[in-house]
Copies of this chain bind each other. A is one copy, B any other.
Amino acid sequence: MSGLTPRKEDYIKAIYKLSERNRAVRVKDIAQVMGVRAPTVVGIVSMLKEDGYVEQEPYGYLELTALGREKAKALIHREQLIYKFFEDVLKLPSDEAKDNACAIEHYISPVCLERLLFFIEFISTCPHVKPKFLEHFSKFINDGDDINLACVACCCHEMSQESEVAQ
C-alpha cells in the first residue's frame, strides 16, 4: 500500500537493470546490487508486489509488471538525463556521475529536471556553441584556475579585437 518512496524506486530500477542483464532475477541478486541482506529485499519487494509493480511466485524469480516496467523506464530516464549532464557537461568521471545521478534523481523537481534538460540540449545541439564551449570548459578544468589560459580557445576570443568585453 501507499506510495513509492525513494528507496522503493531504487529497488524498481535495480530489478529492471538486472532483468536486462540476467533474464532471471532473484532476491539474492537484488540484495547484492543494493548492498543489503535478503530479508530487506523480501520486505521491500512484498510492498512492491502489493502495489502492483512486481510479480513473483513463492520462492520464485522476480519480474516487473507492465506498470513496474513503465515506472522503471521513467525513473531510469530521469537518472540518465542527470547522468548525462554530470558526465558530458561537467566532465565528471563516469562512476562519480552515475552515483550522483542515482542519489539525487529522487529529489530533483520536474521543473528543475526539465531546465537541466534544456541546458544539455542547448549545450549539445546548438551548432554555434557546442564544439567550442565544451572544449573550452575542458581546458578550464584541466588548467585549473587560470581563466585566461582557458579562454584563448573560446570562439568569442577570436573576434575579441572587435568587441571589447567589460567586467
Identify which of A99, A128, A133, A157 gathers the most chain B CB atoms within 10 Å of its CB: A128
* A73-87 vs B, Cβ < 8 Å mask (1 yes, 0 no): 000000000000010
Residues of B within 8 A of A115 (CB): 86, 90-92, 141
**Which of B122, B127, B156 has a CB less than 8 Å from the CB of A137?**
B122
* Residues 82-134 of A contacting B (Cβ, < 8 Å): 86, 89-93, 96-97, 99-100, 103-104, 107-109, 111-112, 115-116, 118-119, 121-122, 125-133
Q: A156-B132, A159-B155 are in contact. Are A108 and B119 (CB under 8 A)?
A: no
Residues of B within 8 A of A2 (CB): none
How many A residues face the partner with a CB closer than 8 A?
49
Q: Please measure, in the bound complex, the distance between the C-alpha atom of A112 and the C-alpha atom of B100, giving whole angstroms.
A: 7
Number of chain copies forming the complex: 2
**Which of B99, B116, B126, B131 has a CB less than 8 Å from the CB of A151?**
B126
Interface residues of A (CB under 8 A from B): 86, 89-93, 96-97, 99-100, 103-104, 107-109, 111-112, 115-116, 118-119, 121-122, 125-133, 136-137, 140-141, 145, 147, 150-151, 154-160, 165, 167
